[in-house]
Structure 1
Amino acid sequence: MTADQWIALAAGIGGGALRVGVPFLFVSLGECLTEKSGRINLGLEGVLVLSAMAAFGGSYLTGSPWAGVLLGACVGALLAALHGVLCSLDGVNDVATGIALMLLGTGLAFYFGKALIQPQAVQLPSIPLGNWSDNPVVRSALQVNALLPVGIVLAVLMWWAFAHTRAGLLIRMAGDSANATRALGYSVSGIRIASTAAGGFIAGLGGASLTLFYPGSWNEGISSGQGLIAVALVIFARWSPLRCVGAALLFGGAGALGPALQSIGVGWGYHLFNTVPYVLTLLILVITCRPGTVVVGSPGELSSTR
């Protein structure tokens, strides 16, 4: 390859990581918050799809992409809050409930979103990070989602809150030991419901970025399983919000590998390269989820040994 092709490939993967990684970032941060409280939410795939549809519809109806973002986040919080309430009932399994709500969320999105497949909604603005270059490919690749800085700031705030605030301590305590939390007079169910709803709100921002920036339209295959991948991504990040940023960019770059190669004329294996994020997910699960072992950083209530 020529030097220009190498530059274009690097810009394509780097820019793709910033674009494709944004939904991964928000969904992983939402799941990180939920799991820190001792609850797992496999329904985030439904949250992501439903919030993506709601955000697109909100932007289309109001003419404001930010109104769509807010609507998508609120819809995500509502569906996640339902998961939290159901899981607080006696005898209800987190995983089974999450799968049921994943089906509910995607079903609702497909039903109410049929009228939104053809229309175009107002999109979120982009941040041009490539103006330093005269190469049009680089400039185009480095048009960054306006929600990306929000996600990075949110990751830093979550990291700080977990380490230095009373609310963060309570969330971590509920995730590590429900008995200790109850002994101190706090409601474990209340903490987990609030954390799950807040996690759904954050994940809803990821859904909004799908339909209001990249790929920037609504269709029934918009998510491609990113909500489920986020669970593995949180394990990979060891339940650290800051590591979620790096993990999201890694998965985003993996997802952008195929289109980046195609942009420089490498057409063979395009669909094979598109499977890289899923292969990464399988590798992470195989390496980290071994019977009888506890992943470093795992909340105690999620431990396989409990």
Structure 2
Amino acid sequence: MNSDLGLWAVPIAVLGGMLRVSTPFLFVSLGECVTEKSGRINLGLEGTLVFGAMAGYGGSYLTGSPWLGVLAAGIAGLLFGLLHAALCSLPKVNDIAVGIALMILGSGLAFFFGKPLIQPAAPMLPGLSLGAWSSVPQVRAALEVSPPFLIGVVVAVLLLFVFKRTRIGLVLRMVGDSADAARAMGYPIIPVRVAATAFGGFMAGVAGAYLSLYYPGSWNEHISSGQGLIAVALVIFARWNPLACLGAALIFGGAGALGPALQSVGVTSGYYLFYAAPYILTLVILFVTSSPRKALEGAPRELSITR
């Protein structure tokens, strides 16, 4: 890539990496956005992501279909979401503590059941070329995306419409902003939060399947690198707006692609520091948004972090 494109290889590689790396952030953040809109926070998405990656890879390997693997991962994530919702529905149970416990549980179960899946090769998800207009092979390769990314973009737009224009969105926001008001209007609090948390778990499971079946496209015990937890911070940065989640996911994806892009043009001294860019960006965002006036702007008022 370096000999053909020169320094242009860096922005092209960052753009391509942005499209690939952003997808797990996008799915997890959209699911968590729905969960938090209902007034509940789920910090166990890291464990759900890892377990989804294992379930997706195993499902693809056993069935021979990567799409069935994605479905298996989504169902696994949905079950974790239901477990989180059921535990948090008990009296005097803290949703943050439950999330941390399920993060550990999900990671542990994934490591245990995923041991036999480290060596076998499972069918991978197909790629779609957005660079067919170019005659440069490197550009076509860099601009190849997976169908889940495009699905995630559509889901972001649909969620914004649901939140602002539908009765379901109105009920969800009412439950998240004032459980007493929702109860007075006759809306069931617990079923709404269970459904929202289950949806968040499903999306995190699908994000895990993307990791193991497309990029990086393998199963190992360290596949997530904290992306589930970063996505929770991303929701706060996006102010609980699905389209903003899409933009923030692309920013994080670009940051994650910076290190490999520099390495592709022969930067061998200190490039590894840029691999930490997503984590540094997370700290910067949390610092910038931690002012008393802006930290919880737009936050559902029933969230435990707002009390």
TM-score with structure 1 setting the length: 0.97
Deviation digits for residues 47-78 of structure 1 (CA, Å, limit 9, x no counterpart): 10001100000000000000000000110010
In 2, Cα distance between equivalents of 1:186 and 1:280:
39
**Match for residue 50 of structure 2?**
49
Aligned to 2:174: 173
Question: Quick check: 1:24 aligned with 2:18?
Answer: no
Residues in 2 aligned to 1:304 and 1:119: alpha-carbon distance in whole angstroms:
43
**Partner residue in 2 for 1:141:** 142
- The answer to whether the 8 Å contact 2:35/2:200 transfers is yes
Within 2, Cα distance between the matches of 1:98 and 1:43?
4
Call closer, same or farther: CA 1:292–1:40 in 2, change over 3 Å.
same
Separation in 2 of the partners of 1:79 and 1:304? 22
Corresponding residue of 1:96: 97
Matches of 1:26 and 1:162 in 2, distance apart?
17
Q: CA deviation at 1:291?
A: 4.9
Measured against aligned partners, the alpha-carbon deviations of 1:227-256 in whole angstroms (never above 9, x if no partner) come to 000111001111000111111010000000
Residue number in structure 2 paired with 1:287: 288
2:221 is aligned to 220
SS at match of 2:302: helix
| Contact 2:299 2:306 (8 Å CA) reproduced | no
User: What is the deviation of 1:295?
Assistant: 2.3
The whole-number CA distance in structure 2 between the counterparts of 1:77 and 1:145 is 22
Cα offset, 1:304, TM superposition? 4.9
Secondary structure of 2:128's aligned partner: strand
Counterpart of 1:203, as a letter, is A
- Structure 2 vs 1, CA of residues 304 and 76 (structure 1 numbering), >3 Å: closer, same or farther? closer
Deviations 1:258-282 (A, max 9, x none): 0011011111222210101001111
Deviation at 1:302, TM superposition (A): 2.2
Report the Cα distance in structure 2 between the residues aligned to 1:5 and 1:91, rounded to whole angstroms: 60
1:269 is matched with 270
Q: Is the partner of 1:300 in helix, strand or coil?
A: coil
Measured after TM superposition, the shift of residue 182 of structure 1 is: 1.1
Given that residues 46 and 105 in structure 1 are in contact (C-alpha distance below 8 angstroms), is that contact kept between their aligned partners in structure 2? yes
Matches within 5 A, 1:60-209: 60-209=61-210
Measure the CA separation in 2 of the matches of 1:45 and 1:183.
Answer: 35
1:36 aligns with 2:37: yes
Shift of 1:290: 3.5
> Retained in 1: the 8 A contact 2:41–2:304?
no
Equivalent residue, structure 1, for 2:59: 58
Question: Secondary structure at 1:148's aligned position in 2?
Answer: helix
Paired amino acid for 1:61: L
Between the aligned partners of 2:285 and 2:303, the Cα distance in structure 1 is 17
Q: Helix, strand or coil: the match of 1:159?
A: helix
One-letter amino acid of the counterpart of residue 19, structure 1: R
Decide which moves more: 146-155 or 281-290: 281-290
Provide the rounded CA distance (Å) in 2 between the counterparts of 1:300 and 1:216: 39
Q: Distance in 1 between matches of 2:40 and 2:267?
A: 43
Q: Aligned AA for 1:235?
A: I
Superimposed CA distance per residue, residues 79-115 of structure 1 (whole angstroms, 9 cap, x where no aligned partner): 0110011011111001100000000000000000000
- Which residue matches 1:248? 249
Cα distance in 2 for residues equivalent to 1:131 and 1:305: 48
Long gaps (5+) in structure 1: none
1:132-156 residue CA offsets vs partner (Å, 9 max, x unmatched): 1222221111111111110001111
Q: Would you say how many aligned residue pairs link Structure 1 and Structure 2?
A: 306
> Counterpart in 1 of 2:259?
258
SS at match of 1:91: coil
Q: 1:297 maps to which residue? A: 298
Rounded Cα–Cα distance in structure 1 between residues aligned with 2:257 and 2:81: 29
Displacement of 1:184: 1.2
Contact 2:128 2:146 in 1 (8 A): yes
Check the 8 A contact 1:294/1:304 in 2, yes or no: no
Measure the CA separation in 2 of the matches of 1:303 and 1:78: 23
Mapped contact 1:293–1:304 kept (Cα < 8 A) = no
C-alpha contact (below 8 Å) 1:294/1:303 kept by paired residues: no
Shift of 1:303: 6.9
Who is 2:211 aligned against?
A: 210
Q: Distance in 1 between matches of 2:238 and 2:3?
A: 36
Answer with 157-166 or 296-305: which moved more: 296-305
* 1:292 to partner: Cα distance: 7.2
2:216 is paired with a residue of what secondary structure?
coil
**Partner Cα separation in structure 2 for residue 217 and residue 79 of structure 1:** 22
